[in-house]
């Protein structure tokens, strides 16, 4: 219908009954033939109660959204201040910096992190997004981190705020830390754990514990997901991906974030077991 209406704007259209070319933009389409406004009401097609089914060859497909690599701050001094804020926060909570998952003795071995154990499967990271993932890791190894700064709030504690604009769908970090079996952490009251693997066999499920080792992801504030007003604060999501057969938690921005805005995440992205009543 849209194509037909466009055609009437550029071509001379005449009425099939009276031959009039007046009011071409108002010519009506009952079913098959063109009629001017005066003749349309007298058209025999108006008397018919049968209508032809119009076929449409257009196929609507949902376009998958690619992850975007973060853009480091261009100013070196600004990047230095960002790294200083992270160093100070890690020191305050007695943590070592680690930008990857670690498997200390006595916890879950590295071989336990198998994406094929996930109950129902886990989303596989596409080839294009894997390139983005490795690009971000390469930037981090060069000391080029996302434009984030850790600040201290007397109520929320250490929080992260954007030190520059960040686009929607930007990959800002991977949630890292020590990997352990969930069964070993059932009585753990740590506020820095994140589910890594929900296996068909519960004894094989894994959790990331960012209490001794971790990166900037450890300081993203949580939201109280039981309050509608709190959900509006959420601007980061944690997505578990199968990356070359290994489960990884990637933190992705869910909307445009302006400089100075704080980052918030719902720690119950996979299940509703993590207590969030004390979050903002």
Are the beta carbons of 39 and 29 closer than 8 angstroms? no
Does the structure show a pLDDT above 70 at 26?
A: no
d(CA 87, CA 85): 5
Question: Which pLDDT tens digit goes with each residue over 146-183?
Answer: 999 999 998 888 999 999 999 999 999 999 999 999 99
Q: Which residues of 241-265 are buried (b: 16+ CB within 10 A; e: fewer)?
A: bbbeeebbbbbbbeeebeeeebbbb
d(CA 1, CA 12): 17
**Planar angle of CA 178, 183, 184, nearest 5 degrees:** 50
Q: 103 or 223: whose pLDDT is higher?
A: 103
Which domains, ranges and CATH numbers included, belong to the chain? 2-47 (no CATH), 68-265 (2.170.270.10)
* pLDDT value at residue 6: 46
Question: Which pLDDT tens digit goes with each residue over 237-254?
Answer: 989 999 999 999 999 999
Average pLDDT, the chain: 80
- Determine if the pTM surpasses 0.75: no
Least confident interval from 49-53, 60-64, 152-156, 223-227? 49-53
Question: Which pLDDT tens digit goes with each residue over 139-150?
Answer: 999 999 999 999
**Planar angle of CA 190, 98, 116, nearest 5 degrees:** 75
Does the structure show a pLDDT above 60 at 43?
A: no
């Amino acid at each position: 219908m849209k194509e037909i209406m466009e055609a009437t704007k550029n071509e001379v259209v005449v009425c099939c009954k009276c031959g009039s070319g007046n009011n071409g933009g108002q010519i009506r389409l009952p079913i098959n033939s063109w009629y001017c406004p005066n003749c349309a009401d007298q058209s025999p097609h108006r008397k018919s109660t049968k209508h032809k089914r119009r076929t449409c060859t257009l196929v609507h497909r949902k376009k998958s959204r690619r992850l975007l690599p973060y853009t480091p701050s261009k100013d070196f001094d600004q990047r230095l201040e960002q790294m200083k804020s992270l160093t100070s926060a890690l020191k305050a909570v007695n943590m070592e910096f680690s930008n990857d998952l670690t498997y200390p003795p006595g916890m879950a071995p590295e071989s336990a992190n198998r994406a094929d154990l996930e109950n129902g499967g886990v989303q596989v990271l596409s080839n294009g997004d894997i390139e983005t993932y490795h690009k971000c890791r390469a930037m981090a190894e060069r000391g080029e981190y996302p434009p984030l700064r850790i600040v201290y709030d007397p109520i929320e504690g250490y929080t992260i705020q954007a030190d520059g604009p960040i686009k929607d769908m930007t990959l800002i970090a991977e949630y890292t830390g020590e990997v352990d079996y969930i069964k070993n952490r059932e009585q753990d009251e740590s506020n820095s754990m994140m589910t890594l693997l929900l296996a068909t066999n519960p004894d094989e499920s894994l959790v990331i514990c960012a209490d001794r080792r971790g990166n900037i992801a450890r300081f993203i504030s949580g939201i109280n997901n039981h309050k509608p007003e709190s959900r509006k604060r959420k601007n980061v999501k944690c997505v578990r991906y199968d990356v070359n057969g290994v489960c990884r938690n990637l933190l992705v921005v869910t909307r445009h974030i302006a400089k100075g805005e704080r980052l918030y995440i719902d720690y119950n992205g996979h299940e509703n077991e993590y207590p969030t009543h004390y979050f903002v």
